[in-house]
């Protein structure tokens, strides 16, 4: 998984399936995001009580509160 860093904040970059679903790196559940907003930043829609936060991806720490970037195929 790639990590994008902007203004010293790390964002995991997630590839969405054809229905806009991604596997969240924070709760390991599927979240659905609409294609209407195009590629870009999204908030993690985790409803799990136990969230692994932060996660270490590609040598960088990523926090749920910062969300992630979604790329549509």
**What's the pLDDT at 48?**
74
Which domain, by its residues, includes 62?
2-72
Compute the distance between CA of residue 29 and CA of residue 13 in angstroms, rounded to an integer.
Answer: 16
C-alpha distances out from residue 22 to 16, 19, 61, Å: 5, 9, 19
pTM, two decimal places: 0.88
Number of separate domains in the chain: 1
CB 53 within 8 A of CB 64: yes
Residue 50 confidence (pLDDT): 73
- What are the structure tokens assigned to 72, written together? 């549509």
Per-residue pLDDT at 73: 81
Q: What pLDDT is attached to residue 10? A: 98
pLDDT of residue 64: 93
pLDDT of residue 23: 94
Q: Which segments in the chain show pLDDT lower than 50?
A: none
């Amino acid at each position: 998984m790639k990590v994008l860093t902007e203004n010293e904040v790390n964002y995991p970059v997630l590839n969405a399936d054809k229905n806009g679903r991604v596997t969240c790196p924070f709760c390991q559940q599927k979240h659905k995001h609409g294609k209407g907003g195009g590629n870009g930043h999204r908030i993690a829609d985790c409803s799990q009580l136990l969230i692994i936060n932060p996660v270490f991806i590609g040598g960088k720490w990523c926090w749920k509160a910062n969300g992630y970037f979604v790329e549509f195929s």
